[in-house]
Amino acid sequence: MSRLCCLSAALLVADVACVQGAVQVSFDGDGSGAVVSSFGKRCSAACEVPPSTLTAEADEFSAFDGWSGNGCSGIGECPVSYGSVTASFRAVAYPIVVRVTGKGSVERDGQPVPVGQPFASLVTRA
């Protein structure tokens, strides 16, 4: 169990407010990425982090959609001191154009595409 104590910058007093425990981080969505705590702990799957400020980093072909839980929302930083938070990532697709020249064939959705005809398709991360 992690323990972080908050001290007044002006005075050290006997009655110090302390936050104990860890923050539960979970992930949602069909994308991928990581959550990084201000203490440097990095998680790419469900984990526990010490109370801190969290940031999200989307992997290639993913986008960060935002936070939920424990008062966090939006896509910015998420300061947490207890409880749980979820980071949502979604897979993104990029349009491509394929041109076939010479001999060969291309299929789209199981159907042949006529040679020399451009077409658009969506490619998503597997």
Task: Clarify whether residues 27 and 77 are in a common domain.
Answer: yes
Q: How far apart are CA 77 and CA 55, in angstroms?
A: 5
Q: Are 23 and 80 in contact (CB under 8 A)?
A: yes
Owning domain of residue 105 = 94-123
The pLDDT, as a whole number, for residue 8 is 35
Q: Are residues 47 and 106 in the same domain?
A: no
Kindly state whether residues 33 and 85 are assigned to the same domain: yes
Instruction: Give the side-chain half-sphere CA count within 13 A for 109.
Output: 4
The larger pLDDT score, comparing residue 114 to residue 109, is at: 109
Coil/strand/helix, residue 57 = strand
Q: Which residues is 120 bridged to in the sheet?
A: 97
Same domain, 57 and 104: no
For the whole model, what pTM was predicted? 0.62
Say yes or no: 74 and 100 in one domain. no
Query: 């947490």: which residue's tokens?
Result: 80
- 82 and 103 housed in the same domain: no
User: For position 93, what pLDDT does the model report?
Assistant: 76
> In terms of domains, do 85 and 68 share one?
yes
The predicted model gives 76-102 an average pLDDT of 84
Number of structural domains, the chain? 2
119 and 87 in a common domain: no
- Please, what is the average pLDDT of the chain? 77
Cα–Cα distance measured from residue 74 to residue 67, given in angstroms and rounded to the nearest whole number: 6
DSSP class of 115: T
9-56 tens-digit pLDDT: 333 333 334 445 799 999 999 999 999 999 999 999 999 999 999 999
Model pLDDT, residue 39: 92
The verdict on 76 and 109 lying in the same domain is no
Cα separation, 29 vs 106, whole angstroms: 31
Reading the block at residue 32, the tokens are 């991928």
Evaluate if residue 66 carries a pLDDT over 80. yes
Same domain, 80 and 99: no
